[in-house]
Structure 1
Amino acid sequence: MHNTIISLVILFIITDLGFPYPAPEDALHNAQVFLEKYGYTEKEKRDANLVQLEAAVRHYQWLSHLPVSGHLDVRTVLQMNEPRCGMKDISQARWLEQFNGLVNRKRKKRYTLNKKWYKHHLTYQILNWPWYLSPHQVRQAVKAAFQLWGNVSSMAFSESMSGAADIRLAFFDGDHNDGAINAFDGPGGALAHAFFPRRGEAHFDNAEHWSLNGRGRNLFVVLAHEIGHTLGLQHSPFKNALMAPYYKKLGKDYLLNFDDILAIQNLYGAPPSGKLVQLPGKEFAFFQDWNPKGVEGFTTANTKPFYCQSVFDAITWDMENLFYIFKGRQFWTVSLNGNVSEPHILKHRWKRPPAYVEAAAVSGSDGKFYFFKGSKCWRYKESKLEAGFPQKCSDYGLPQHPDTVLYFQPLGHLVIFKGTKYYVINEETLTVEPYYPRSLKDWKGIPTETTAVLTHPDGSIYFFKGEKYWMFDQDNLRVTASGKWAEDLSWIGCKNS
């Protein structure tokens, strides 16, 4: 029977849209492991028979809003590989029972395991956080995530700075003593998981690149979802619900939909005021950290610039040898001797800029600023956006979401880095020069997916990724030094603050 299942999987995968991978046996194994992990099958019945496998796949497809066939087709396999919460999903039969109860006005406790907190004020504690996010930034995001649920229910939350707390939030790598099935799997896959009341814990995969203002997994969204679990909510089958199992990007819509609100109120009731406060996702697009005055637990003495404890989005030099560092909606300027300016708002300097910058460069030929984000690019002469910009530069062959960009003097062109390739760009036409893209191996010693790059006035090129830098010798075309930029590079403005 096991061979029969494999044969059918081979047929499903080969005949559907020409999907050539993974190998059928791997696809079958991965699907079985997935279905077991997320509650669609039981371990001892993993290899039982084709009927049970098809039934599990059908349940998964139904709850994932896919065509229900029972076959491991391309869409199903791809959906299984999307980033999501590590908690199990609610079964189709149970959801239908609870949904019918709702339709019939029976106020059943939907998406719960009959576990709840028997008090209406909970404390929480943040045990650790990614090194590249500031403590205040994380605290603000956690506070907002709890408040999101407090705005639509009778619950109230406060942070406990010491001692015991009802709910604890922490970041872990790999296996962290929660059992093998809960071990984190690196970037992608399961982003986080939590425990229902009254264990009061939520764990986040430290291998993800978390963000609160642009690149990476949006920590606020995942925080709000996992907090829902710590309050007693299971996954929702509504695609647009915050408690849906798959990672949700911030948008213009309300972050909580009617299903989330009904579920939390079925557990804890409506707000005492009777008024619901719903906020669109765009309200949480940024958690800016540079405002130390009046912030509890924040000191102004010897405070380093925010980017020194974090990662930046982009960097570049202008033709006056002034260094620009971009993060979120803000930027800093640094002089050659390492003196750092106050933070400035991006849109106060440049007209109609992107919400944040993924890559930036200044042309060495005319001093114009180039910003890149997504599929678009912006070009400025001083602070003025040039006519016709922003443009959809991907239409000209430029890569979407570039890793970084610099003006490379030996070629007299902009160079864009993306993954394992680099592109040489004609500034006049914004097209890729002939014979490009080429392999990143030409830049010996440079890692893939760097987050920033610039040419220092002394001629050295510096690439940045996380807390590290690589100094590249453009004459010998190889890396000659590396280290931690905040500690080793005095001109970046962190050692002099």
Structure 2
Amino acid sequence: MRTCVVVVGKMNILPEKSLWIFVLQLSCVLLTLKATVTVGSPVLLNPPPPPETSAENFLEKYGYLEEENHQHNDTEVNTALREFQWLTHLPVTGRLDSATRHQMAAPRCGVRDDRGQQAWAQKVNGIFHGGLTKPNSGQRLRRKRHSQLGERWHKRHLTYQVVNWPGHLPRGQVALAVRTAFQLWSNASALAFREVTQGSADIRLAFYEGEHNDGMGNAFDGPGGALAHAFFPCRGEAHFDMAERWTLNGYKGHNLFMVIAHEVGHTLGLEHSPVRHALMSPYYKKLGKATVLSWDDITAVQQLYGKPESGQVIQLPGQVFSSALRDWELSESGTWKPDSTPPPYCRGFFDALTMDQDGTSLVFRGGLFWTVSPAGNTSSPLPLQNRWPGLPLAIEAAAYSEMDNKFYFFKGRRVWRYSSSGVDPGFPLRSSELGLPGHPDQAFYYPRLGHLVVFKGQLYFVLNLGTLRPEPYYPRSLDDWRGVPRGTNGAVSHPDGQVYFFKERHYWRFDPEKVQVTGEGMWDTELEWTGCLGTHHRGNNIL
């Protein structure tokens, strides 16, 4: 077998200096490929399934194709794709185009979308005409927005129980989210809910990983995909994927409150809704400022259980829940002592991390931030607005720049820049004005380039802080950062000359001289300057 080896020296992550290396490597690959083809083509032992097969599996799992017969003809697949596209508000083509594949990969509820396009249209028609009518006939159908006739609770006072919860979220926050989720539905119907901590309950909420003896097709699939699933009355259970990055007050991960509220709707008997902005839409919905329940959600629950005794629906805007959660967070932060237990972010997640000119780490989570000295001494948490007035309630990325001694904050599609005196004139700016993407994964100052580096998905961007314009030849692939995984949520250029990347509870140490990762581990037990005092924390999983 012919072998090709290219030996190179040190390389900076700059396109003009690495172009000749790329050409040599490409030539090597072509020569090796030529030799391989001459000898014989390699055989993949486990080739990935073609896109069509994965799409059919998806359509079977969520009720668009019959599972009993796995050999589907083109007409059946075309019809199933059209129904799926109609429900998800895509162009109805019946073809497996890129938009359809993208939608299939989006995070969603694991409950099936059993009814087809015609049934959904009949349901919407019934909302406006007081009943459901078959097309081209005067016959009414007695269908409502729940899975089957009779699948509802035959009482108005229900109990619920939280079996376990993610270890990185405080019990009090989870309890507030669950209580508010049930209150959403009681405010819109004649139902009343009460939590019980022991004994039996009508509705049980629990977190699991992978296969959990829940029936065929209900095994959780790790981060993304199916976030949770639930069972209709009278089983009354809702299960959530423990492997997801659950959040309540941050913008990274999936908001647990919104997913709980959706799954509770299923435990009450509600099906998925075809209305784009409905809480009961099958796809994950972010928490915003507007009301959480749509008119379709309210109509559906009232069809089953009637209106509130007062006759008036009380709507809860998402902003109210965010404010209540922030108040709880601030009250709890006042009782936390730096010398008692590690800060809450040590349980597994933070939103952003940076380091100032003194080597002090700043860790951001929700509406709070902590400072950690180089020796690992952690301050009490403070609200973001106390130090940086005008910032939103939470951020997605933060970076301190040694070049101009300024802090840069990212949230959504806007960027804030702060000097010691406050927010700089003209800020916040739209990310697009700086040539940067919205909702970045992370940002950090890279001394080797003298610029700000922003990661998003498979690409990284470089911002010239002098001109506030993107550097030419960017964005580029993250392959330049050899060994750094996708989806990191924080990075720090450390005084030791290394760049540390973070993802969940892991870190990777990147050597700019070798242009590759040279070490990795658990940041809460190995990096003293993160403020976790070397204590390992376990999740609260009692199952």
Residues 263-278 of structure 1: pairs in structure 2 closer than 5 A? 263-278=300-315
CA contact (8 A) 1:368 1:380 kept: yes
2:109 maps to 1:80: no
- Specify which of 102, 105, 111 is matched with residue 146 of structure 2: 111
Alignment equivalent of 2:219, drawn from 157, 172, 183 = 183
1:194 Cα offset (Å): 0.6
What does 1:25-424 align with in structure 2 at a 5 Å threshold?
26-47=50-71, 49-89=73-113, 90-105=115-130, 109-113=144-148, 114-212=150-248, 213-285=250-322, 287-288=325-326, 290-291=329-330, 302-424=340-462
Name the residue aligned to 2:7: none
The 1:352–1:30 alpha-carbon spacing in structure 2 relative to 1, beyond 3 Å, is same
Label 1:293 to 1:425 Cα distance change in 2 as closer, same or farther (>3 A): closer
What whole-Å deviation, never above 9, does each CA across 1:114-144 have from its counterpart, x for those lacking one?
A: 2122332322222333333233222221221
Match of 1:17 in 2: none
For the Cα contact (< 8 Å) 1:425–1:432, is it kept in 2? yes
Distance 1:460 1:111, change over 3 A: same
In 1, Cα distance between equivalents of 2:69 and 2:385: 58
Greater alpha carbon shift after TM alignment, 308-317 vs 467-476: 467-476
Structure 2 counterpart of 1:488: 526
Q: 1:227 deviation in Å?
A: 0.7
- How far is the alpha carbon of 1:195 from its aligned partner? 0.4
Equivalent-residue separation in structure 2 for 1:63 and 1:443 (angstroms): 40
Cα shift readout 1:79-114 (whole Å, capped 9, x = no counterpart): 333322121223344445545544443586432422
Q: Is the CA contact 1:351–1:383 (under 8 Å) kept in the aligned structure 2?
A: no
CA distance in 2, matches of 1:123, 1:176: 24
**What code does the residue aligned with 1:91 have?**
G
Q: How much has 1:341 moved relative to structure 2? A: 2.4
Secondary structure class of the residue paired with 1:43: coil
Distance 2:144 2:195 in 1: 28
Match of 1:16 in 2: none
TM-superposed CA distance for 1:278, in Å, is 0.4
8 A contact 2:361–2:529 mirrored in 1: no
> What's the CA shift for 1:358?
1.7
Aligned-partner SS, 1:30: helix
Residue 427 of structure 1 and its aligned partner are, at CA, apart by 0.6
Kept in 2: contact 1:208–1:217 (CA 8 A)? yes
Q: What residue is the counterpart of 1:450 in the other structure?
A: 488
Query: Secondary structure in 2 aligned to 1:371?
Result: strand
Worse-superposed segment, 472-481 or 27-36: 472-481
Q: Report whether the alignment pairs 1:432 with 2:470.
A: yes
Deviation at 1:260, TM superposition (A): 1.0
Distance 1:139 1:475, change over 3 A: same
CA contact (8 A) 2:152 2:268 kept: yes
Structure 1 residues 310 and 188: alpha-carbon distance in aligned structure 2, compared to 1, 3 A threshold: closer
Asked whether the 8 Å contact 1:454–1:462 carries over to 2, the reply is: yes
Pick closer, same or farther for the CA change 1:73–1:407 going to 2, 3 Å: closer
Percent sequence identity over aligned pairs: 52
CA shift, 1:291, in A, is 4.7
Residues 401 and 240 of structure 1, relative CA distance in 2, 3 Å threshold: closer
Q: Aligned partners of 1:99 and 1:363: how far apart in 2?
A: 54
Q: Measure how far apart 1:451 and its partner are.
A: 1.1
Inter-partner Cα distance in structure 2 for 1:52 and 1:461: 52
Any idea what SS the aligned residue of 1:182 has? coil
Contact 1:134/1:310 (8 A) holds in 2: no
Describe the superposition over 1:396-427 as per-residue Cα deviations: whole angstroms up to 9, x where unpaired: 43343332222233333323333444444311
| C-alpha deviation, 1:145, in angstroms | 1.1
Give the Cα separation in 2 of the matches to 1:126 and 1:345: 29
Higher mean Cα deviation, 324-333 or 122-131?
122-131
Structure 1 residues without counterparts, runs of 5 or longer: 1-24
The CA deviation at 1:439 is 4.7
Distance 1:151 1:128 in 2: 26
- The structure-2 alpha-carbon separation of the partners of 1:231 and 1:299, relative to structure 1 and needing over 3 Å to count, comes to farther
The CA distance in 2 between the partners of 1:71 and 1:446, in whole Å, is 36
Gap change, CA 1:143 and 1:383, over 3 Å in 2: farther
| 1:9-64 CA-partner distances (Å, limit 9, x unpaired) | xxxxxxxxxxxxxxxx9344333323322223322345354444444344334333
Aligned to 2:21: none
Q: Write the letter of the residue equivalent to 2:130.
A: R
SS of the aligned residue for 1:462 comes to strand
- Give the Cα separation in 2 of the matches to 1:294 and 1:73: 49
Count, aligned residues: 472
In structure 1, distance between residues paired with 2:534 and 2:330: 20
Change in Cα spacing, 1:421 to 1:95, as seen in structure 2 (3 Å) is: closer
- RMSD value, Cα: 3.1
Rate the CA distance shift 1:245–1:436 in 2: closer, same or farther, 3 A.
Answer: closer
For residues 313 and 119 of structure 2, what CA distance do their matches in structure 1 show? 28
Q: Deviations over 1:260-304 (max 9, x none)?
A: 112112222222222211022333347446356699xx9989343
Show CA shifts across 1:144-193 (max 9, x none). 11111111122222332233322222223333222332223333332221
Change (3 A) 1:53 1:479: closer
Q: Which amino acid aligns with 2:71?
A: D
Amino acid at match of 2:60: E
The answer to whether residue 504 in structure 2 is matched with residue 466 in structure 1 is yes
Judging changes above 3 Å, is the alpha-carbon distance between structure 1 residues 430 and 156 closer, same or farther for their aligned structure 2 residues? Answer: same
Q: C-alpha distance in 2, partners of 1:460/1:62? A: 50
Give the TM-score, by structure 2 length. 0.78
| TM-score between the two structures when normalised by the length of structure 1 | 0.84
Task: Mark the CA change 1:459 to 1:355 in structure 2 (over 3 Å): closer, same or farther.
Answer: same
- State how far apart, in whole Å, the 2-side matches of 1:333 and 1:67 are: 49
Q: Distance in 2 between matches of 1:104 and 1:443?
A: 59
Query: Tell me, what secondary structure is at the counterpart of 1:220?
Result: helix
In the other structure, the counterpart of 1:15 is none
CA contact (8 A) 1:290 1:306 kept: no
What SS does the corresponding residue of 2:217 show, helix, strand or coil? Answer: helix
